[in-house]
C-alpha cells in the first residue's frame, strides 16, 4: 500500500545526517569561496527562485549582519522579461542557488553575471549540473537524491551553505553551533506530538498568515510555501513589521496566524503580536524556542533558529496533509524542477 508523504517524511529524516556532513565541510567551503574572491566584494547578490530563494534570504541576512556589505536578492525577470543586462557588477559576489542546478533562468543569469565581472558561487545538490558549470565555485550540498516535490533536506542544506559563504567574507559570522546542529534537528524531528496538535487546530482553515522577523523570517516564507504546495492552502508569509502595517487585518476567527520566533533581537516583536491577534479573535499557533510555545524547538544561537523553524514548518505541512488526506510527495500540477525562463 502506498503511504502518502512517505518520500517527504524519509527525506526530512535525513536532515541531521545531511547537515552534519555539511557542517564538517563548513570551514573548507568558506575557505574555498574566500580563495576565489579577488578581494573584498563590492557587494553580494543572491540569485534564486522558490525554496532556494527563501534560503537565499537567510544568506542575505547573514552577509548584511556579518559584513555590512551592500546585499540584494536579484530579480531574474529584470533580465529575462525586461532585457536589462547586468551592469556594474565587476567585483561583486553572486550566489546562485538551485537544488537541481537546472532551472534555466538561474543558469542563464549566473553566466551573464559572471561575464559582467562578478565572481559566481553556485549552491546546488548536483555538482555536475549546468549551474555548476556556469559558476566559478560550486558548493555541492551532497544531500543525496530528493524525490518528493516539496524540497526539505536540500532547503536546510542550502541555508547552511549560505552561512558558509557568508563566513568566507569575514566580519562577525552568523553561524549556528555546528557541532550541536544535527542533534538539535534530530530532537525536533523526534518531537511530533505538538505538531500533530497544531495540525488538528489548523486543518479546517484554508487561509493562514505565517509571521516572523529577522533570522526567522526566511523560515516563515519557506513554511508558507510548504503549506501552499502541499495542502493547497492560501498561506502567506509576512515580516512582523510589515504585518503590522495592514495585513494583520486579514486575521480573524477563520484566519489564524502562525508566529515563528527564536531568541534573537527581532523575535520579541513577533511574540507581542499574540495580544493584538487575540483582540481580533484570531487563533494563534506559536512556534519557537520560548519553552511556552505551542510548537517548540531547542534554544539555539543565531541562524540555528531559522533552520529549526524550517524543519518545524516541514513537519506541520506533512501533518496537515495527513489530516486532509492529500499526498505531499506529488502535489497536483507541480513537478520537481520548475523550468522558469
The number of C-alpha atoms within 13 Å of 245 and in the hemisphere containing its C-beta is 5
Fold of 6-167: Rossmann fold (3.40.50)
Percent of the chain with pLDDT over 70: 96
Tell me the mean pLDDT in the region 38-44. 96
Mean pLDDT, all residues of the chain: 94
- In the chain, where the domains are located: 6-167, 181-324
Tell me the mean pLDDT in the region 260-288. 96
Quick check: 163 pLDDT over 80? yes
Q: Give the pLDDT of residue 339.
A: 64
Q: Is the pTM for the entire model greater than 0.85?
A: yes
The number of C-alpha atoms within 13 Å of 7 and in the hemisphere containing its C-beta is 16
For residue 3, what pLDDT band results from cuts at 50, 70 and 90? low
For residue 14, what pLDDT band results from cuts at 50, 70 and 90? very high
Task: Provide the 10 A C-beta neighbour count for residue 86.
Answer: 20
For residue 207, what pLDDT band results from cuts at 50, 70 and 90? very high
CATH number of the 181-324 domain: 3.40.50.10490
Task: List, for residues 165-190, the tens digit of each pLDDT value.
Answer: 999 999 888 888 899 999 999 999 99
**Alpha carbons 282 and 207: distance in angstroms, whole number:** 12
Name the strand (E) or helix (H) holding 38: none
**Alpha carbons 166 and 174: distance in angstroms, whole number:** 8
Q: Give the pLDDT of residue 331.
A: 66
For residue 1, what pLDDT band results from cuts at 50, 70 and 90? very low
Q: Give the pLDDT of residue 256.
A: 97
For residue 341, what pLDDT band results from cuts at 50, 70 and 90? low
| C-alpha closest to that of 321 among 196, 146, 153, 219 | 196
Task: Provide the 10 A C-beta neighbour count for residue 24.
Answer: 12
Comparing 66 with 331, the larger pLDDT belongs to 66
Q: Give the pLDDT of residue 4.
A: 75
Tell me the mean pLDDT in the region 191-203. 97
Amino acid at each position: 500500500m502506498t503511504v502518502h508523504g512517505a518520500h517527504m517524511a524519509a527525506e526530512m529524516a535525513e536532515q541531521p545526517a545531511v547537515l552534519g556532513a555539511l557542517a564538517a565541510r563548513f570551514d573548507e567551503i568558506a575557505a574555498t569561496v574566500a580563495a576565489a574572491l579577488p578581494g573584498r566584494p563590492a557587494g553580494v547578490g543572491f540569485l534564486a527562485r522558490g525554496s532556494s530563494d527563501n534560503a537565499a534570504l537567510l544568506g542575505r541576512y547573514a552577509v548584511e549582519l556579518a559584513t555590512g556589505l551592500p546585499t540584494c536578492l536579484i530579480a531574474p525577470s529584470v533580465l529575462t522579461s525586461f532585457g536589462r543586462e547586468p551592469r556594474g557588477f565587476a567585483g561583486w559576489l553572486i550566489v546562485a542557488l538551485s537544488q537541481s542546478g537546472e532551472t534555466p533562468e538561474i543558469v542563464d543569469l549566473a553566466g551573464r553575471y559572471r561575464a559582467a565581472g562578478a565572481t559566481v558561487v553556485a549552491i546546488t545538490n548536483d555538482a555536475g549540473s549546468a549551474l555548476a558549470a556556469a559558476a566559478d565555485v560550486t558548493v555541492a550540498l551532497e544531500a543525496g537524491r530528493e524525490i518528493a516535490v516539496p524540497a526539505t533536506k536540500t532547503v536546510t542544506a542550502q541555508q547552511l551553505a549560505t552561512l558558509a559563504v557568508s563566513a568566507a567574507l569575514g566580519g562577525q559570522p552568523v553561524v549556528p553551533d555546528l557541532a550541536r546542529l544535527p542533534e538539535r534537528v534530530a530532537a525536533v524531528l523526534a518531537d511530533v506530538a505538538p505538531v500533530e496538535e497544531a495540525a488538528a487546530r489548523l486543518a479546517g482553515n484554508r487561509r493562514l498568515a505565517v509571521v516572523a522577523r529577522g533570522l526567522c523570517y526566511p523560515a516563515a516564507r519557506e513554511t508558507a510555501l510548504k503549506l501552499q504546495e502541499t495542502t493547497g492552502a492560501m498561506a502567506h508569509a509576512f515580516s512582523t513589521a510589515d504585518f503590522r502595517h495592514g495585513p494583520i487585518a486579514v486575521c480573524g476567527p477563520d484566519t489564524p496566524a502562525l508566529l515563528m520566533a527564536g531568541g534573537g533581537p527581532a523575535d520579541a516583536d513577533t511574540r507581542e503580536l499574540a495580544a493584538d491577534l487575540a483582540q481580533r479573535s484570531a487563533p494563534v499557533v506559536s512556534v519557537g524556542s520560548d519553552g511556552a510555545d505551542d510548537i517548540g524547538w531547542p534554544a539555539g544561537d543565531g541562524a540555528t533558529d531559522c533552520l529549526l523553524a524550517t524543519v518545524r514548518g516541514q513537519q506541520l505541512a506533512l501533518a496537515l496533509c495527513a489530516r486532509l488526506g492529500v499526498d505531499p510527495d506529488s502535489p497536483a500540477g507541480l513537478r520537481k524542477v520548475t523550468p522558469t525562463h
